[in-house]
Structure 1
């Protein structure tokens, strides 16, 4: 009997030795051998519903991944709820995702106010708030919010990059600043001033506006009167379009820099007048499908084939869709790196240890590099200038190498 018992023990030991992979699998809520549950809120309705296409292209991309066998044999289960761009609704829906659906992580919750509303909750629960669709600096702060990682270029980072460009190319400029009086505008201005450093005296005037104001005409008149010959425009689409049009009406032709959020051709430059918008400068990090430079690019061809098959009703030329496609690819890369350790802690660890990762629509030379001390996903950008029809890339890739916590 003892001999049989010993043999059984040896057999079990041998079985354990030849099945290490199974023994090493680790899961938190939202993951198992067959699926990975991901939660998302997006404005499918309400004043920002134009952003909903981002969620749709991401869902389509994950369907493509599932059709190809999933991630390490597991299918992505993306659970999406409408928050109507309303922070109280975001709170309600994110709680539902975490406590009801028990998702492994939240992904691409959109909007600064929406993300701010759930940031403390998700950090307390230790649920990754991954690749949040906002660029406010509070979402790249691993010290105070270690479970939150924003995706969009950090507004302060972008501001410093514009300062770098101005110092190198327009060192004698007289800068007038138009900014939205909220976290978005203030972060941009802080970044610009930090980048200018001792040359911040180049700023001759500043004018803020509230989002409730019907127009910013008086602010533009004030900046022109101050003698500014460079307009730094840290605003959102509606007001950026007004600024371009009002400057043209006044016959004022400053160098006009607009932030990436307000750089849309369809939502900003067309309403302002394409002729009025000629020469507008901004930044980019993603290939433009309309740019003939990329007509033979393998990444763009792959994207266009994907859109035709999985999201034919979507506009393949839309920046929102190239954006959604890119961030979805990045999440897939993170989850692949997790292997069989699908814990929330490991998801965050992998997201915070990317080196030279480049989604296929990223501009050549631009990649994602993160660390446990630097949560900024996109800190390399290239300048673009509008030629009256489309943006043209110019100059080198500029990287923000400032302190990672800003």
Structure 2
């Protein structure tokens, strides 16, 4: 009798609980976002993800299981991120952490999650430290690493402006130094083409003096490794000085609304950047099937969203990638299998990545997106160039 009862009880447990965060009827996914505080503008990514998972649930979920998306506010505070992550893991018992935003917040919880074998999946940061499977096998980024982006700019200049003297304005933090390292690595033996480097701290009111010194260096190229406010200042100051170098702005400062318009549309003509995602407001994507699906999703599940917000596009793409991973898991929703499938993406292209960009991962490659297309600003929008550039990140 006792054996029969134990078998019955074991059967019930097996049916209702597959592993931490994965039950017969649901898959618990944890997330932290800065819904308040200095980085609250980034919260539109989390809101898009929540809406996307609602759509997936309405379509029947993942192999019959609904995604329960539990997202808490960390106000972009590492201490708060630790508190909220522990709550998600220990109280809510999520299967995995997904797309938590920011280098400081993710750094604060990386060791904790890895020590407990909790997937820290598709981290919303380009820091190289989130793609090191030997040291942190439970952590994987999603977007291109800053080093990868830097290598792309080096390849572009080597091919299109060989021998040009290069001036660099960079933010003096992990982001700026990471992208700068990738750029220098990409130049290889041509690193002596750099004739000026100027750093700034985010607490500084302007970068005017740095731009003045870079002009005086004799640089033919100005590489902006900057965030939005300082990218706009750089474009303005270069114009004020009558300086017309070949200009490159990094991807995070390529927003037409947040950088180009504040600086002045006329000042941005001919500048370059690299991108991997489509702009849904660009007429060239009007008949694109992926863009049509994206717009239909927004209309039905997130009508208040600003489709011109690149973070909305980002949230859609990364949520679509998580769904792909969970589908690949089948009925094995163990945390170990989640990581195996995340490291087994084969030429997967979410709706809103550019043509030719495909996500690829492996057990020794935790960087899903490593392809870009260069773009040149013409008129009032970015024009995609034909060349697709791939740049691998070197993990040391």
TM-score by length of structure 1 reads 0.92
CA distance in structure 2 between the aligned counterparts of 1:393 and 1:25, rounded to whole angstroms: 50
TM-score by length of structure 2 reads 0.95
Match for residue 213 of structure 1 among 192, 204, 213? 204
Residues 168-227 of structure 1, C-alpha deviations (whole Å, 9 max, x = no match): 110021100111111100011100110000011110010101111111111110100000
TM-aligned CA deviation for residue 402 of structure 1: 5.5
Q: What is residue 64 of structure 2 aligned with on the other side?
A: 73
TM-aligned CA deviation for residue 317 of structure 1: 2.3
Q: What is residue 141 of structure 1 aligned with on the other side?
A: 132
TM-aligned CA deviation for residue 27 of structure 1: 2.6
Q: What is residue 33 of structure 1 aligned with on the other side?
A: 24
Q: SS at the partner of 2:304?
A: coil
TM-aligned CA deviation for residue 251 of structure 1: 1.1
CA distance in structure 2 between the aligned counterparts of 1:302 and 1:366, rounded to whole angstroms: 18
Q: What is residue 178 of structure 1 aligned with on the other side?
A: 169
CA distance in structure 2 between the aligned counterparts of 1:314 and 1:401, rounded to whole angstroms: 33
CA distance in structure 2 between the aligned counterparts of 1:39 and 1:280, rounded to whole angstroms: 39
Q: How many residues align?
A: 387
TM-aligned CA deviation for residue 26 of structure 1: 8.2
CA distance in structure 2 between the aligned counterparts of 1:70 and 1:100, rounded to whole angstroms: 24
With 126-135 and 394-403 compared, the bigger mean Cα shift is at: 394-403
Q: SS at the partner of 1:176?
A: strand
Q: Is the Cα contact below 8 Å between 2:48 and 2:302 reproduced in 1?
A: yes
CA distance in structure 2 between the aligned counterparts of 1:227 and 1:195, rounded to whole angstroms: 22
TM-aligned CA deviation for residue 259 of structure 1: 1.1
CA distance in structure 1 between the aligned counterparts of 2:120 and 2:50, rounded to whole angstroms: 18
**1:382 is aligned to 2:396:** no
TM-aligned CA deviation for residue 23 of structure 1: 8.0
**1:324 is aligned to 2:311:** no
TM-aligned CA deviation for residue 395 of structure 1: 3.1
CA distance in structure 2 between the aligned counterparts of 1:240 and 1:68, rounded to whole angstroms: 42
Q: Is the Cα contact below 8 Å between 1:25 and 1:340 reproduced in 2?
A: no
Runs of at least 5 residues in structure 2 that lack an aligned partner in the other structure: 1-6
**1:131 is aligned to 2:130:** no
Pairs within 5 Å for 1:308-347: 308-347=299-338
Q: What is residue 256 of structure 2 aligned with on the other side?
A: 265
Pairs within 5 Å for 1:344-363: 344-363=335-354
Q: What is residue 103 of structure 2 aligned with on the other side?
A: 112
CA distance in structure 2 between the aligned counterparts of 1:350 and 1:383, rounded to whole angstroms: 30
Q: SS at the partner of 1:238?
A: helix
Q: What is residue 288 of structure 1 aligned with on the other side?
A: 279
CA distance in structure 1 between the aligned counterparts of 2:297 and 2:14, rounded to whole angstroms: 37
Q: What is residue 9 of structure 1 aligned with on the other side?
A: none
